Amino acid sequence: MERRILRNCFGAFLVASVLTGCGSDNIVNDEPGSYPVDPNDAVYMNITMQLPGAGSSRSTTGENGGSTGGVEIGSDNENKVNEIMMIFTKDDYEIIAYGTQESVSEIDNTGKVKSVQKINKSVLSAYYGSDNRLDADERKINVILIANGTQSIKESIADAYLKKTKTWIDEICSIIETSSTSTQGAANNNSAIWGGDNHKSGFLMTSSEIVKKELPQDFSDWEHHTSAADAFQLSGVNHANTNQEIDNSGAIRIERSVARFDFRDGSPKGENTYDVVTDRDGKVLLQIQLGKMALVNMSKNFYFFRRVSGNGLADDAVIGGTETSGNYVVDTDATQKNNEDFISGLGFAENFNFGLFHISGNTATIDIQARNQWYTSKISDVLKGTPDNFNGWTGEEKPTKDPGYHIWRYVTENTIPGPVDRQVAGITTGVVFKGKMIVPEDAESSIATAVKNATGDPDKDAILYVHGGNIYVSWTEVRAFALEAGTGSDFYRQVFGTPSNVPKSENTDEENVYSDDVNSADYLWNEWHNKALDNREAKSKFKVAALNAGCTIYESSVDDELDGAGYYCYYFYWNRHNDNHNNGVMGRMEFAVVRNNVYKLAVTGIRRLGHPRLSENDPDPVDPDTPDEKGDVYFDVEVEAVPWVVRVNEIEF
């Protein structure tokens, strides 16, 4: 019989009655084989739970919480409530009573779940004490709800009740996922946080605020609540059958514990294609077509119960507090993130799934090993996936037509404490877009020839150089323009250094065409390309010099999942939560992922070529301490977040 009781307590997770734990006949259950309930010893309670979707935020968090946008109602799977646990606690979070039940009433069209629960009066007797009476403070208890909970939080609550400990409220949920995991969270039983591997089993939800409810003063008052028709109202007004009116009006709000990323094609002409390079007459010479998107730096841990503080640290954090424009949502690793050594010492690597960097010793690199860590999707597959719940949008800024967003994936919470300059690439959740250089069909230029004829062999294909906003299709073009700029120009000095000879055009038959400054890019190019083409060390020395001269280098490669051979580049987007609408200047909580938000992403414009595929070719590589927002903007991202919550971000590179 004891094992049966344990299953009832830790099994399915439902709209809760007040239970004392898992080890006595206080548990109420009408299933065959469980302890019987004496009808003369039963009392009833009514509880109402409000599903998420009728509250706060879009891209900017308001002074008192909330934001500027509407709401996207969750889908049926995202709203599913299989089970609810209700917990009664004192102010210090010592558990008075808790329990689960295995049935739940229908969700009404306002997102409310109502339930009438039956419990033994003996459940309450210990709390009422020997005088069977509660004083004014004792009558006011915290009521906390958990929907679709994981096994770990259930066990933590049971243990805390038995041992009278209070640490359960600070429990951390961990999720481990790798790029090789076939389904989200399949390697970890906490995949329940987003409804299991198929997202249909009910999302983890917890109280979004700590709610006070009032119990009757005298234990004898429970004699008036011995039938479902006379249930005590934990979410309503009690007056007819009590010594004094008790107003418990108000549903208990809950929120999903994870966020969601959606994506749409935001390109002006469609096909995820953007005009990037034009000639003086405005004719398009080069375009970027985005083909892949990869999630990076998804947090492994988050608190089961949200908390906020003035500086983003756990000290003096308010559990269930409202996020406003003047505070921070607190993360489990806030203290480490606040320590500068956390970045410089590369200690963050263990905190994230899909780490942006490959960490080797004291070096952080974006290389093939790093890219293999990322959660990567073909954009074409994302856009063929599940559409967002467009019909569920509410609010004044509801789209006038279906914008074409599709659900990409669910993501865990990741926030960064103050000061605002702590928002850097090493610890921020982001999306990396992979783009391919393409040209219009009728394009005729040296750029078009190089792009169209690319074989994917970097030793045979042309090297593309970008310098001062111009693109060159060989070093010959670079040096020709430097010669044209003249000896007094910065371009000339960057290319040729300080030679004792006078570099000349390659079209001449004269000797000493190339710079004789042994440290210059021009000299090293000649030493490699004209004298030792197969010498990797010589090529490497030249590329270092070219980068020092201000050149960004693009070499061809092959991606069989996209369109094979070509020139590829990357764009880095750090997820924007609270937009301060001031590009180049970061604001509080501007870059974060916060639970119960939908972040709706669309790349609406690309201004320049992205970061080279090889970090060694990039004069401005992304490092762990690279600020999330800099002056050199690569692209535009439309992003909006309203309660689901949805945040729509228009991305412009």
Give me the pLDDT at residue 549, please: 96
Q: pLDDT tens for residues 532-562?
A: 999 999 999 999 999 999 999 999 999 999 9
- For residue 344, give Cα distances in angstroms to 193, 244, 361, 426: 32, 62, 12, 10
Rounded mean pLDDT, 427-454? 96
Least confident of 31-35, 205-209, 607-611: 31-35
State how beta strands 646-652 and 598-606 pair. Answer: parallel
Name which of 187-191, 206-210, 349-353 the model is least confident about.
187-191
Residue range 346-405, pLDDT digits in tens: 999 999 999 999 999 999 999 999 999 999 999 999 999 999 988 887 765 677 788 899
Choose among 238, 380, 206: nearest CA to 305.
206
Over the stretch 564-616, which tens digit does the pLDDT of each residue have? 999 999 999 999 999 888 877 899 999 999 999 999 999 999 999 999 999 99
> What angle is formed at CA 56 by the lines to CA 52 and CA 57, rounded to 5 degrees?
120
Terminal CA-to-CA distance of the chain, rounded, Å? Answer: 64
Phi, psi torsion values for 318, nearest 5 degrees: -100, 120
Kindly state the tokens that stand for 60: 């900017």
Selected residue with higher pLDDT from 267 and 45: 267
Q: Which two tokens stand for residue 499?
A: 């030679």
pLDDT of residue 73: 80
Q: Residue 80, SS3? A: coil
Give me the chain's average pLDDT, please: 85
H-only helix segments in 72-163: 76-79, 122-128, 136-139, 151-163
Average pLDDT (290-294) is 98
Query: Mean pLDDT lowest for which of 294-298, 604-608, 626-630?
Result: 626-630
Q: Is the dihedral of CA 393, 394, 395, 401 positive or negative?
A: positive
587-608: buried (b, 16+ CB within 10 Å) or exposed (e) per residue?
A: bbbbbbbbbbbbbbbbbbbbeb
pLDDT exceeds cutoff 70 at 624: yes
Q: Tell me what percent of the residues of the chain surpass a pLDDT of 90.
A: 64
CA distance 545 to 543: 5
Give the pLDDT confidence of 408-420 residue by residue, as tens digits. 999 999 999 999 9
Higher-confidence position of 411 and 224? 411
Torsion angle of the four alpha carbons 140, 142, 143, 145, in this order, in degrees rounded to the nearest 10:
170
Ramachandran angles phi, psi of 648, nearest 5° = -100, 125
Query: Are the CB atoms for 388 and 73 separated by under 8 Å?
Result: no
- Enter the pTM of the model: 0.89
pLDDT confidence of residue 646: 56
> Which letter does DSSP use for residue 231 in this model?
-
What does residue 509 show for φ and ψ, rounded to 5 degrees?
-90, 0
pLDDT digits (tens, 9 = 90+) for 114-137: 777 677 677 678 889 999 999 999
As a whole number, mean pLDDT of residues 78-98 equals 89
Burial of 401 (0-12, 13-18, 19+ CB in 10 A): exposed
Under DSSP, is residue 336 helix (H, G, I), strand (E, B) or coil?
helix
Predicted pLDDT at 14: 29
Rounded CA gap, 452 and 461, in Å?
A: 11
Q: What pLDDT does residue 240 have? A: 62
What 8-state DSSP symbol labels residue 516? Answer: -
pLDDT at 623: 95
pLDDT of residue 63: 53
Closest to 596 (Cα-Cα) out of 14, 12, 64, 79: 79
Nearest CA to 268 among 639, 607, 583, 631? 607
Report the distance separating Cα 557 and Cα 566, nearest Å.
6
* Alpha-carbon 517 to chain mean position: 50
Task: Give the number of C-alpha atoms closer than 13 A to the C-alpha of residue 453, restricted to the C-beta side.
Answer: 12
Which residues are CB-contacts of 165 (< 8 A; sequence separation ≥ 6)? Answer: 94, 159
Whole-number Cα distances in Å, 12 to 6, 9, 154: 11, 8, 10
Name the percent of the chain lying above pLDDT 70.
Answer: 83
Name the 3-class secondary structure at 378. strand
**pLDDT for residue 168 is more than 60:** yes
What is the rounded distance in angstroms from the CA atom of residue 330 to the CA atom of residue 314? 6
Q: Looking at residues 437-444, what average pLDDT do you find?
A: 93
